[in-house]
Structure 1
Amino acid sequence: MSVSNVAYHHPTPQGTLFEALSLPAMFERTMRADPQAPFLHFLGRTYSYREIFEDAQRFAAGLQALGIARGDRVGLFLPNVPIYAAAYYGAMMAGAIVVNFSPLYSVEELNWQVEDSGTRVLVTLDVPELYQTAHKVLAASSLETLVVGRLADMLPWYKGIALKLLKRSQIADVGYGPGVRSWAEMTPDRAFTPADVTPQDLALLQYTGGTTGRPKGAMLGHDQLSVNAQQVAAINPFDDVRNEVFMGALPFFHVFANTALLNHAVATGASIAMVPRFETKQVLETIERYRCTGFPGVPTMFQAMLDHPDLAKTDLSSLKVCISGGAPMPGPVHARFEAATGVRLVEGYGLTESAGVVSVNPYEGTRKRGTIGQLVPGTEVILLDKEHPENLAPEGEPGELAVCGPQVMRGYWNRPETDADTFVERDGKRYLRTGDVARIDEDGFLEIVDRIKDMIAVGGFKVFPSVVEDVILEHPAVKEALVIGVPEEYRGEVPRAYVALQSDAGATAEELASWLNAKIGKHERVDQVVIRESLPKTIIGKLDRKALRAEVL
C-alpha cells in the first residue's frame, strides 16, 4: 500500500492531550508536584527541582534588574552544567527569548550570531576557552553584559575545593566589572515579578547549520517546545515516569537534547544524569551510578561505547531503551550494540525547525531497523515531488518529506523571505519542507532515503549517497563512511567514498572499491575509496558531509 500521495498522520492515542504551556509554567507545575524530587545529577551532586526553579527565579530577577524585558534575547554559551537549566528557564521567566550557542564556536561565529539575534546578555562559564571567546565578543559586538558561572560552585564541595587548589589552570582569570557579572552576583534573593509569558510567545532561537550560507535562527515558541516535549513523553510505554533517569550526554544547546532531555524531563518529572561533554568512560560510569533508564544519543556515541574496553564490565541493566537521532544509524553498529549490551536501540528523526522530534521507532513491540519509525502523535506528513515540490510525489515513489504539526517552528528570525522555500500550503495546512527524501510503508514507518542537496547527479542519474554508504558499511573492515560527489568532466559528478576503518582492519582502498562496486548499480559506482584516520564530525558527533565536501572540494 502506498501512502505517498496523501497526508499521513499518527493518530493520537485515546486520552492523550497536548497542552500548549509556557515553559516556566510547565516547570513550575512539575516542581510543585514534588519539590524535592531530583532534577539534575552532576558529577556527584544532585539538584532538586526546587533548587533549580528557585535559582531560575533569582536569575530572572537579576535580568529584570539589568533592564531585560519581554522579547529581549539572552544567550547561553555553556556546556552541560546545572546553571544551563537555571539560565534557560530563568530567562524565559523574565519574558526573554533564549538563544543557544555552541561552546565550540569561534569568536567570529559567536560574534555573528550574537549580532544577528540581537543578544543583550550572554551566560558562560569560567573555563578559559569559553570565557576568553565570550569576552572578545563582548568587546567587539553590541553585547551588553557577560554573566560568568563558576564551575567550582556547581560541584560537590570537595571537588570544588580540589578544582580551586589543584587545577587553577582550568579556571579563567575573570575580570569582573559593570559589563562582566558573576552568576552569584546576578542571583541574590530579591523581589521577582514573573513576566506575563504566554504559550504563543517566542521562547527560543535555535540556529541551524544548513548546507549553504550563514546559519538561520529557527523561531520556536513556548507552545511548540512544550508540546513537543509532551509528544515525546506520550510514546513512552513505561510506568512510573517520574522515576525515569535520562543519560544527559547530548549537549543541552542542541535541539535534540533541548527537547528529548531537558524539556522532556521537566514535562514528566524525570531526572537527568548529566556530564559536561561526552567522554565514553564517564558516560558508562554515570549510567551505572545513577541507574539510567533512557539514553538519547547520536550514532557515534553508541559506536564509541562499543569501542571502549569498559563496556563489557559496566552494568547497563537499568537501561530500558537507547534512542539514536541526529544522523542515520549504520546497520552493523545497530546490531553490534544490541548484541553487546542487550539494550534495545531505536532510531528517531527530527530537525531544528520541528523543535526536535518528528518520529521514532516504538520502544516496545514492532520496530523496523533502517527506518526513523512512526510519527509522534499529533503530527502528519506528505511527500512532495523532488523536482517540483508544488506537487505531491508520484504514487509509490520517494519524495521530499514535509511535516505539519504543533511542534513546527514559526519561521526563521529576520528571514521572512525564506518562507516561500521553507513552507508549502496544502489543504489549508502549512507544511515544513525538510529537504529529506523519504518513503512511507504500509505500517506508517518512515525511511529517509537521502537529502535533496546531497544527491549526486551522475550523467543524468540521481545517486543517493546514503545508499552507497549503507552498502560499504556492510564490509567488516569499515567503521564509518561518507560518500560525496566530486566533479568529473564526462558525467558531471561521480561518487567517491571516504571511510574510517575498524582498529584491527587490514583492507586496502583498492580492495574496498572493488568489493563495493560489485554490489551497486553502474551509475552508483565510486571512482575510488579514500581511507582516513577519521571523518569530520559535528559538535554532537554526527558525521559531517558538509565539512568533508568543503575540505575536499
Structure 2
Amino acid sequence: MTDSALPASPISASTDQPIWTTHYNHPCAWDQQFEPLSLPDMLFHTAGRKGTAPLLDFMGRKFSYAETAQGARRVAKGLQALGVGKGDRIGLFLPNVPHYVAAYYGAMAAGATVVNFSPLYTADELAHQVADSGTTILFTLSAAALLPTAIKVLNQSGLERLVVGSVAGALPAGKALFYRLFKGKEVAERPDDPRITSFSSLIDNDGAFSPVPIDAMHDIALFQYTGGTTGTPKGAMLSHQNLSANARQVNAIDPRKDDSDDRILGVLPFFHVFANTCVLNRTVLNGGEIVMLPRFDAVAALKAINRTKVTALPGVPTMYQALLDNPQIDKTDFASLRACISGGAPLAAEVKARFEQVTGANVVEGYGLTESSGVVSTNPYEGLNKPGTIGQPLPGTTVRLVDKEDPTKDVALGEPGEIIFAGPQVMCGYWNRPDADEEVFIGDFLRTGDVGVIDEDGYIRIVDRIKDMISVGGFKVFPSQIEAVLYQHPAVKEALVIGIPDPYRGESPKAFVALQDDETIDGPALVAWLNPQLGKHERVAAIDIREALPKTLIGKLDRKELRRAEGIAA
C-alpha cells in the first residue's frame, strides 16, 4: 500500500467518510500522507538540527545527538569492514543501553536489516530465530545473563560473529567503577575467540562509511518476531517507511511536541515494537531526550522521574501497577509528567484511575501489533478519553470491522467484528512465509484476530480476541510452545495452557495436564521441572493435574471448553 492511497472505510453513519472524521479528537488531520523516509536519514537529519542537545541519558551520562549519530556512523563503517552489505541481517540481543541505539541505526545505515531478539530468550529460542532470519552478526553485552547464551548460539548455529559491548563503558565514570567493583557476578568474561569482536574495536574508526542507497518504501529495516495466531514465531518485515511513518503518526497526535521540553522515560525494552516506535524512533524524530534505563525497576524508574523531570511515561499495565505498589511513589514529583501511554495489554480501569489520582497525569490507552510497526489507534492525550477503549485510529489509518467467519464482509454499523486496518505502518509481510501472508492480508488491510466494536464517536473497544496467545505484562506468550515442552516429560499424556487473570501482569500462563497411566508426579514438581526451560515471561503460575482434559466431538483437546470450565471468557 502507498501513502497516497488511503482506503475508504465502510464505517460511517451516512457518508463515505470514516465515522471518526466527523469529530477527530486528535490534534491533527486524519487524512495525512507521509513521504518516504529512511530511519538513518531521520537520525542524521535530527542530529544536524539538534547537534549537542542530549538524545540519551543513561544512568546520568548524557549522549548528544551528534555523538549518537557519529556512533551510528562508526558502527556502519565497522560493519562494512566486516563485509556487511545491503540486506544482510544483523541481530540485537540487547537491553536498553546506548550500544542498542548506535547498532540499530548504524546497521541500517550500512544497508543491513536489523533483527530484534529479546534478552529473555533461551539459547534454543535465540538459535531458532537466528537460523530463521539468517542473522550473521549478533550484538550483545558482556553480561552474565546474555553472553553465555549468545556464545552457545554462536557455537550451534549459522551465526558468524558476536559484537560484545560493556555496560560499564557507557556509564558515568563513578558508576562505571562501582559496576566493575561490585557487580562482578553480573559480568561474563569474553573468551579469546576470533569470532568475537568488542564493540569498542568495531567502532574504532572515523565513521566515514560508504553511503548505501535505501528505498524507504520497500527496503526492510527490521525483522520483528511475533507468534501470530499459531504460536510459531514469524518475522514481520517492517520497512523503513513503515517504522518512520508510524513514528510520525505517533508524533502527530501529541498536542505539545516541543522538542526543548520532550523527555521520555525509556524503560520499555527497545527490542519490543511498542518502545521501538513510541520511545526510540518517535523521540529521535522529534528531537527529544530519552531517559534510558536498562530494565524496569520501580525504584530506579521513580528516581529517574524525580531526577530528570520526564514529560512522558509509556508503559504496560504491569509497570503502572508496580509503580503504584512501591512506597517511593509518595516521594516522587510527577508535576512534569504530561502523558502516560499504556499499551501491550488491556489496562484495568482501577489501575488507570488510581495512577491518575496519585500522579495527576493523564493515562491514555492505545493499541497496536508487531505487524503495525507499533501503533494502530489510541485515545487522545487531551480531550475525550474513553476508558476501556483503544481510542481513535492514528492519522492515515483506516479501521474496519469484518465478519469473523467471512472477513471479506463488513459487519453492520454498531455490530462487533474482527478488527482489520490499513495504513502506512502495515508490515510488508512475514519473512519467508507467503502462506501466513495469505491468512492475514485482505488487500491492503491486515487482520488482527481481535474482535471489536466502534461507537458513535469512532472509538474502538476490543470485546474479544480470536487468538490463543496470552498477554503477560505486554509480552505475547503462545500456549503451544509451553505445551511442546510439557510433552517432553515422560509422565505427561495431555497438556493445555491457557491464560488466567493476574492482577499484576494482566495474565499468567497456567497449565492443565493429564498424566500417563501409573504416573504420580504432582503439579508443583512438574512446575519445578518446566519453568527453568522457559523464558521468564513464559513461566507458568501453576499446573493443575487432571484425570482428563476436555475434548471436542472429534477428539481434539478443547482449549475453549477448558477456559469456560475455569470461568474465563473463551
TM-score by length of 1: 0.81
In structure 1, the partner of 2:256 is 238
Alignment partners' CA distance in 2, 1:397 and 1:547: 38
RMSD: 3.0
CA 326–545 in structure 1, closer or farther in 2 if over 3 Å, else same: farther
| SS, match of residue 254 in structure 2 | coil
The answer to whether the 8 A contact 1:324-1:345 is kept is yes
| Matching residue within 447, 462, 476 for 2:461 | 447
| SS, match of residue 435 in structure 2 | helix
In structure 1, the partner of 2:245 is 227
Alignment partners' CA distance in 1, 2:31 and 2:118: 38
The answer to whether the 8 A contact 2:121-2:535 is kept is no
Matches within 5 A, 1:479-498: 498=500
1:3 aligns with 2:17: no
The answer to whether the 8 A contact 2:274-2:344 is kept is yes
Alignment partners' CA distance in 2, 1:141 and 1:547: 33
Alignment partners' CA distance in 2, 1:73 and 1:390: 36
| AA of the residue aligned to 2:355 | F
Alignment partners' CA distance in 2, 1:331 and 1:544: 26
The answer to whether the 8 A contact 2:31-2:396 is kept is no
The answer to whether the 8 A contact 1:385-1:399 is kept is yes
CA 501–214 in structure 1, closer or farther in 2 if over 3 Å, else same: closer
| 1:357 Cα deviation from its structure 2 partner | 0.5
| Matching residue within 163, 177, 183 for 1:167 | 183
| 1:454 Cα deviation from its structure 2 partner | 4.7
Alignment partners' CA distance in 1, 2:124 and 2:76: 29
CA 166–254 in structure 1, closer or farther in 2 if over 3 Å, else same: same
The answer to whether the 8 A contact 2:20-2:457 is kept is no
1:405 aligns with 2:419: no
1:13 aligns with 2:29: yes
| SS, match of residue 145 in structure 2 | helix
In structure 1, the partner of 2:224 is 206
| Matching residue within 121, 129, 133 for 1:117 | 133
1:94 aligns with 2:104: no
| 1:388 Cα deviation from its structure 2 partner | 1.7
| 1:394 Cα deviation from its structure 2 partner | 3.4
Q: Structure 2: which 5+ runs fail to align?
A: 1-9, 22-27, 472-476, 480-496, 505-530, 545-558, 564-570
Matches within 5 A, 1:77-476: 77-190=93-206, 191-200=208-217, 201-425=219-443, 430-454=444-468
| AA of the residue aligned to 2:367 | Y
The answer to whether the 8 A contact 1:7-1:380 is kept is no
| 1:418 Cα deviation from its structure 2 partner | 1.5
The answer to whether the 8 A contact 1:23-1:92 is kept is yes
| AA of the residue aligned to 1:446 | I
Alignment partners' CA distance in 2, 1:349 and 1:544: 26
Alignment partners' CA distance in 2, 1:157 and 1:199: 39
| 1:395 Cα deviation from its structure 2 partner | 3.7
| AA of the residue aligned to 1:316 | F
Q: Structure 1: which 5+ runs fail to align?
A: 456-464, 467-481, 485-494, 503-535
In structure 2, the partner of 1:526 is none
The answer to whether the 8 A contact 2:85-2:112 is kept is yes
| 1:157 Cα deviation from its structure 2 partner | 1.0
Alignment partners' CA distance in 2, 1:202 and 1:102: 20
Identity of aligned residues (%): 52
| 1:13 Cα deviation from its structure 2 partner | 1.3
| AA of the residue aligned to 1:111 | A
CA 547–297 in structure 1, closer or farther in 2 if over 3 Å, else same: farther
In structure 1, the partner of 2:556 is none
Matches within 5 A, 1:68-79: 68-79=84-95
TM-score by length of 2: 0.79
| 1:313 Cα deviation from its structure 2 partner | 1.4
Alignment partners' CA distance in 2, 1:146 and 1:75: 9
CA 408–539 in structure 1, closer or farther in 2 if over 3 Å, else same: farther
CA 501–43 in structure 1, closer or farther in 2 if over 3 Å, else same: closer
| 1:94 Cα deviation from its structure 2 partner | 0.2
CA 14–254 in structure 1, closer or farther in 2 if over 3 Å, else same: closer
The answer to whether the 8 A contact 2:270-2:276 is kept is yes
| AA of the residue aligned to 2:361 | V
- Mean Cα deviation higher: 539-548 or 372-381: 539-548
Alignment partners' CA distance in 2, 1:26 and 1:170: 35
The CA deviation string for residues 317-363 of structure 1, in whole angstroms up to 9 with x for no partner, is 11001010011101111111111211110100000000001111011
| 1:7 Cα deviation from its structure 2 partner | 7.5
Query: Number of matched residues?
Result: 479
The answer to whether the 8 A contact 1:298-1:540 is kept is no
1:63 aligns with 2:73: no
| AA of the residue aligned to 1:345 | V
| AA of the residue aligned to 2:456 | E
CA 17–29 in structure 1, closer or farther in 2 if over 3 Å, else same: farther
| 1:392 Cα deviation from its structure 2 partner | 1.4
The answer to whether the 8 A contact 2:138-2:161 is kept is yes
The answer to whether the 8 A contact 1:385-1:394 is kept is no
| 1:178 Cα deviation from its structure 2 partner | 1.8
CA 302–204 in structure 1, closer or farther in 2 if over 3 Å, else same: same
| 1:166 Cα deviation from its structure 2 partner | 2.9
